[in-house]
């Protein structure tokens, strides 16, 4: 496995196909994904099923993009590492907190501006999801939610600068 940019596990591949089946019946005008392999591989089945080109956006990448991939499950089992992670999660993954938040919100704004009246699907990672949801809900921090792998969180762009959260961490499609 590539520790810098791992692909999906067998279960992840199955989940990506489940997501494609679940969302593939909806009208989708654009699909965006982080350039990291795990997000691309999750997005590809839906892009194929929907007949929509997959657009990669660097601003959707996870904070660990330039560092070794960190398995959250491993970090949570070590109390010392977990405490370090919780004190500065973006820094722990090798990023700069302020720059990362700005990059993610700028990426989301760019996608929203380009597709303001359309149904768009974005495949990204835990911290970008948290940042967008926290911004929409007026929350502090970047670790308010622990998204399940292949879960769906829905937001609606009310205007070019306002976002409404519809749902967080849907997983019924994975059952």
Residue 26 CA to residue 50 CA, distance in Å, equals 8
Q: What is the pLDDT of residues 51-94, one digit of tens each?
A: 999 999 999 999 887 666 666 777 888 899 889 888 998 988 88
Range 10-174: architecture per CATH: 3-Layer(aba) Sandwich (3.40)
Nearest to 40 by CA among 56, 25, 27, 24: 56
Contact at 8 Å (CB) between 24 and 49? yes
Residue with tokens 């961490």: 169
Q: Are 62 and 93 in contact (CB under 8 A)?
A: yes
Tell me the three-class secondary structure of 7-36, residue by residue.
CCCHHHHHHHHHHHHHHCCCCCCEEEECCC
Instruction: Note the pLDDT tens digit of each residue in 4-26.
Output: 788 999 999 999 999 999 999 99
CB contact set of 155 (below 8 Å; sequence gap of 6+):
132, 133, 136, 163, 164, 165, 166
Residue 33 phi/psi, 5° resolution?
Answer: -150, 155
Q: Could you give the CA distance from residue 160 to residue 173 in angstroms, rounded to a whole number?
A: 30
Q: What are phi and psi of 157, to 5 degrees?
A: -80, 110
Tell me the domain boundaries of the chain.
Answer: 10-174
What three-state secondary structure class fits 165? strand
Tokens representing 16? 């990506």
- 97-120 average pLDDT score: 92
Give the per-residue pLDDT at 68.
64
* Interval 119-128 mean pLDDT: 95
* pLDDT at residue 45, as a whole number: 98
pLDDT at 138 exceeding the cut of 60: yes
* Pairing outcome for strands 163-170 and 152-157: antiparallel
pLDDT beyond 60 at 1: no
DSSP strand pairing (30-33 vs 120-123):
parallel
Give the tokens for residue 84: 């370090």
- When pLDDT is averaged across residues 97-119 and rounded to a whole number, the result is 92
Six token digits for residue 123: 């495949």
């Amino acid at each position: 496995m590539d520790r810098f940019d791992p692909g999906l596990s067998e279960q992840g591949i199955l989940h990506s196909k489940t997501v494609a089946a679940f969302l593939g019946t909806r009208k989708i005008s654009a699909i965006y994904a982080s350039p990291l392999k795990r997000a691309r591989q999750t997005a590809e089945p839906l892009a194929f099923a929907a007949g929509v080109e997959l657009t990669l956006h660097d601003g959707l990448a996870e904070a660990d993009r330039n560092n070794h991939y960190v398995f959250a499950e491993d970090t949570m089992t070590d109390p010392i590492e977990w405490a370090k992670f919780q004190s500065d999660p973006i820094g722990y993954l090798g990023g700069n907190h302020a720059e990362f938040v700005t990059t993610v919100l700028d990426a989301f704004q760019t996608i929203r501006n380009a597709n303001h009246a359309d149904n768009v699907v974005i495949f990204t990672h835990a911290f970008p999801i948290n940042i967008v949801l926290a911004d929409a809900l007026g929350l502090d921090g970047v670790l308010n939610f622990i998204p399940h792998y292949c879960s769906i969180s829905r937001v609606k762009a009310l205007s070019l600068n306002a976002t409404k959260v519809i749902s967080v961490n849907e997983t019924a499609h994975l059952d």
